[in-house]
Chains A and B, each alone.
Chain A
Amino acid sequence: MLALRWIFWLTAAVLLLCIPLTGERFYIYLAIQVLVLALFAMGFNLLFGYTGLLSFGHAGFYAAGAYAAGLLLMRTPLSLLSSILGGALFAGALGAVIGFFCVRRTRIYFAMLTLAFGMMVYALAFDWRSVTGGDDGLIGIPRGALWLPGLGAVKMDALWAYYYLVLAITAAGVGVIHRVVHSPFGLVLQGIRENENRAAFAGVPVRRYRLAAFALSSFISGLAGAMVAPLENTVAPTVAHWTKSAAPVLATLLGGIHTFSGPMVGALLFYLIQEFIERLTEYWLLGFGLVLLILVLGFRGGVVGYYEAHLRPALWRRFS
């Protein structure tokens, strides 16, 4: 069982490291998109799958990270990595403020509050022209160079070079989430998800933990968004639109809510399905909706959840 898991992670790592070897800009670009959504969905699921709070406003934090990183790169001498981290920190701080209000409610009321705040971020991005550039957005964000100890400035102009940076940041972000969900803090979050009342009777200040989870989730989502600004060299208000908030929800549902790797697998599926259907029909959303319908109805718990509940036990019986 343990071996199977290692084989899976090792294969994934080798494949991810080899993608730039194809030399195809399209594949590298697509892989970056998948990685960014994977991290975005992992951050989102910290709140959804682990704490039991469904946010419809995470595009707001994704966009906050993207805009802040873009502005830092354009207007300050900060390096590439510092700007991306700065973007994530800004998103985390925004999450702490917005979360302060949102965690006062749960379930549908919580979801509506996050939706409302998400739309406010969109309105700000659209209307605050002097800072955000309005509907044009930020244009001409430099990618800059990466300072590596021992190597000095490494140019990130080539897409494959930037790909490796995105891969490293995503891996680090996923590593952080992995440690957090297996820590006492992560256990408390799951306890709150399972039974809020019982958690309070276990001595847990429930609201404070929810706020901490909210801020951390916003930080990770902002980190994902921050990687997009130097990639595209531009950030437009569409990154803050509420439809963008649906992406991590869908990726998480596809992959599996109550599994660690579900959102990542879901992010991959999200883009694979999109690419595949786009080749068949221009109405890709229609096809996507159908696939989602089948997966949600047929594979409750997502693809990874289905694997863990049905396929892995079967494999285990066969090979042991």
Chain B
Amino acid sequence: MTGAGHPDLLRTEGLRKHFGEVRAVDGVDLDLKEGVLTAVIGPNGAGKTTFINLLSGNLFPDAGRIFFLGEEITRLPVHLRVRRGLGRSFQITNVFPQLTVSRNIQLPLLSCLGTAWRFWKAVDASEEIHRRTEMILAEAGLEEKAHLPACILSHGDQRLLEVGIALAAKPRLILLDEPTAGMNPAERSRILKLIADLSAARRTTFVLIEHDMDVVFSLAQQIVVLHQGRILARGTPSVIREDARVRDIYLGGEIA
């Protein structure tokens, strides 16, 4: 992952998903380079979440193809996409509520090291798992809470934990669905710093859906605007800021 990023990290060709009459995703061609932090924006109902669900494998498309690192993954099941390095977080917080914070991290670590089938050794017996758990907890700033059940963490900490779970699977690409939703300002700056640091260190590439334009314009290196299931515009933040069509769909409000 050091040096030049993979030029063909993720590519979609004519991706399409309809729900009855609703064309949630209606022919999206997109390619992403490794190391470029991309934000997907668009008004409500633009198809952002459906698009992410197609990429992550929660939904299969009606038509079109998806390639990850040059290989087709259009109909690959979720867990195999994760093994290849495609992770995600969810719009609604999604952790293992009754397990402790460190167990939440250990589960993907074990599963992606291929040692999760071991049934005769204690989880805590592995030095490497222990070390890597500590590392990820430190990155997410959750060391102090390692032994608490995830369900009693604050909303912001749960979202950080979710990013930690995604990180533990050693992803090349992480899809984040509204990572800052429902957070207070302190929590928000923590998670944004985590994303910015990891991205700067070239540990992984982020694609995020976000409504908060401050976040989008401060963090993203590239912005993709979805509208009615299609890509309306794509470019650097400064290009998007000046785009008349984008201003139109947002009524000039938020982006001005």
Contact with B along A184-204 (1 / 0, CB 8 A): 111110110011011111111
Q: Does B122 contact A (CB under 8 A)?
A: yes
Q: Does B103 contact A (CB under 8 A)?
A: yes
- Are A191 and B96 neighbours in the complex by a CB distance under 8 Å? yes
The bracket for how many chain B residues form the interface is 35 or more
Which residues of chain B come closer than 8 Å to A195, judged between CB atoms? Answer: 94-97
CA distance A205 to B98 in the complex (A): 21
CB distance from B248 to the nearest CB of A (A): 36
- Are B116 and A204 neighbours in the complex by a CB distance under 8 Å? yes
CA distance A200 to B116 in the complex (A): 13
Chain A interface secondary structure, helix, strand, loop or mixed?
helix
CA distance A190 to B123 in the complex (A): 13
B72-131: which residues lie under 8 A (CB-CB) from chain A?
Answer: 77-79, 82-83, 87-88, 94-99, 103, 106-108, 110-112, 115-123
Q: Which of the listed residues A183, A184, A186, A203 has the most CB atoms from chain B within 10 Å of its own CB?
A: A203
Q: Does A296 contact B (CB under 8 A)?
A: no
> Residues of A at under 8 Å CB distance from B?
179-180, 182-188, 190-191, 194-195, 197-206, 258
Q: List 23 A-B contacts (CB under 8 A).
A: A179-B119, A179-B120, A182-B123, A183-B118, A183-B119, A184-B106, A185-B118, A186-B119, A187-B106, A187-B116, A194-B98, A197-B58, A198-B94, A198-B95, A200-B78, A200-B79, A201-B82, A201-B94, A201-B169, A202-B111, A203-B79, A203-B82, A204-B116
Give 19 A-B pairs besides A183-B118, A201-B56 with Cβ atoms closer than 8 angstroms.
A182-B122, A183-B121, A184-B117, A184-B119, A184-B123, A185-B118, A188-B111, A190-B98, A195-B94, A195-B97, A198-B96, A200-B78, A202-B82, A202-B168, A203-B82, A203-B108, A204-B79, A205-B77, A258-B98
> Residues of B at under 8 Å CB distance from A?
56, 58, 77-79, 82-83, 87-88, 94-99, 103, 106-108, 110-112, 115-123, 165-166, 168-169
